Amino acid sequence: MAEQMQDIKRRIKSVGSTERITNAMKLVSASKLRKAKTVYEHSKGFLDDIFESMAEALAHADSVPKECVDSEKEIKTKCYVVITSCNGLCGGFNTSIIKTLEEHLAAETVDVKLATIGTKGKNHFEKDGFDIVAAHDEPADAITFEEAQRVVAPLMEMYDAGEIDEIDICYTSYVNTLKQEVKVKKLLPFHLEDFHAITGAEPIVHRMEYQPSADEVFHYMVPRYIELQLYSAAIESATCEHAARRTAMENANDNAGDMLMALRVHYNRARQAEITDEIIEIVAGSEAQR
């Protein structure tokens, strides 16, 4: 009985240490979430305005380069940009992204290449033998617009050279602190009806004039649009990662508390049983001496 009680005490000490760690990680994640959410909310309004302005220009099918319009392009090779985290302990955050992308990859009938942000996705798909053409090994919350440009640059070069015909992005979209959804969105070539929906304009309502030329304007605008889309997705994904980690650590902390309570009850019962046994032995010895 004494050995069993010592074992329970060791488990109580171990679970107590785990509870303190998960509680500290929950507080750190909550702090990072507040910071990331502030950045996301502030940048979202700014980026939405930019996207709307660019969409208004891109909504005119007579000006957009034919290689950037999906109806004009035959798709033979796709490139998926996947955004995952660099660290674990964030619940099903990475698993959901990887599982969703694997489902899309399994359904593909064309050649596929990958570009990654975050090491979890890179390590997983590298192990599976996929061709990774660009990689950013830093976490999404550390990515700057300049780094987003460096990720997009080789993809745009390959797109212009005809080595890839479509660029999609797989990331986690923020709904609220408790809910995040994995999305797969096409970046290039453009589906012009999407821009008409954003601007509320019918295609080619009026002819726009471009200086120095429409071709030069769009060849400058298209990469900037893709860079902004990637940067926006990275900010949103970072917010989701911290939200998922905070939730995971909160659940782990609650579970540790429940385990501690159960272990203390078990320990108290074992101690009471030991005391009862000792009382019985004392009483039995006393009766035997009469």
Residue 209 has which token pair?
Answer: 């004039």
pLDDT at 68 over 60: yes
Q: Which of 95-99, 188-192, 254-258 has the lowest mean pLDDT?
A: 188-192
User: Over pLDDT 90: what percentage of the chain?
Assistant: 6
Confidence of residue 220 (pLDDT cuts 50, 70, 90): confident
Of residues 56 and 117, more confidently modeled: 117
Confidence of residue 204 (pLDDT cuts 50, 70, 90): very low
Residue 269 has which token pair?
Answer: 């019962």
pLDDT at 55 over 80: no
Of residues 160 and 195, more confidently modeled: 160
User: Is 233 within 8 Å of 171 (Cβ atoms)?
Assistant: yes
Check residue 81 and give its pLDDT.
92
Check residue 203 and give its pLDDT.
46
- Beta-bridged to residue 78, according to DSSP, are 112, 166
CA angle 222, 68, 218 (to 5 degrees): 35
E strand intervals along 31-117: 77-83, 111-117
The mean per-residue pLDDT over the stretch 142-161 comes to 85
Contacts of 94 (CB under 8 A, 6+ apart): 84, 85, 88, 120, 121
User: Over pLDDT 70: what percentage of the chain?
Assistant: 83
pLDDT in tens, 153-179: 888 888 888 888 888 999 998 888 788
Check residue 205 and give its pLDDT.
44
Confidence of residue 82 (pLDDT cuts 50, 70, 90): very high
Whole-angstrom Cα Rg for the chain: 28
- Beta-bridged to residue 116, according to DSSP, are 82, 135
- pTM, entire model: 0.78
Strand order across the 166-176 sheet: 131-136, 111-117, 77-83, 166-176, 179-188
Mean pLDDT of the chain: 80
